[in-house]
Amino acid sequence: MKQNATRNATYTVDCEDYVHVVEFNPFESGDSGNLIAYGGNNFVVIGTCTFQEEEANVEGIQYKTLRAFYHGVRIDGIAWSPETRLDSLPPVIK
């Protein structure tokens, strides 16, 4: 992730371009991790993350990308649906 020298983040994950928006899923998703989405100039990435404050066996942050979507437009806003479930078959991400 490209970083601005005037800002410091507690946790970071690698990404290929500037990130314009980040949104955690505020709803219960049926998984132990937190769902997170971030968007940039032409992409949205959906992932899960667990912080050391939530799990004793995690050091810092544990992050896993679930899916990346590329569509050629800048992302300025992300909203989660309460229908999002990772414990269903197939998993539902909205």
> How many folded domains does the chain comprise?
1
| CB contact burial 18-57 (16+ within 10 A = b; e otherwise) | ebeeeeebeeebeeebbbbbbbbeebbbbbbbbeeeeeee
Task: Kindly state whether residue 31 falls inside one of the protein's structural domains.
Answer: yes
Range of the domain at 35: 21-70
Task: Kindly state whether residue 9 falls inside one of the protein's structural domains.
Answer: no
pTM, whole model, 2 decimals?
0.79
Task: Kindly state whether residue 91 falls inside one of the protein's structural domains.
Answer: no
Beta bridge partners of 70: 43
Asked if residue 80 lies in contact with residue 93, where contact means CB atoms within 8 angstroms, the answer is no
Task: Kindly state whether residue 16 falls inside one of the protein's structural domains.
Answer: no
Q: Would you tell me how many other CB atoms lie within 10 Å of the CB of residue 65?
A: 13
Task: Kindly state whether residue 10 falls inside one of the protein's structural domains.
Answer: no
Task: Kindly state whether residue 55 falls inside one of the protein's structural domains.
Answer: yes
Backbone angles phi, psi at 61, to 5 degrees: -140, 140
CA angle 16, 91, 68 (to 5 degrees): 10
pLDDT digits (tens, 9 = 90+) for 65-86: 999 999 889 999 999 999 988 8
pLDDT digits (tens, 9 = 90+) for 6-33: 667 777 778 778 889 999 988 888 776 7
Task: Kindly state whether residue 82 falls inside one of the protein's structural domains.
Answer: no
Task: Kindly state whether residue 41 falls inside one of the protein's structural domains.
Answer: yes
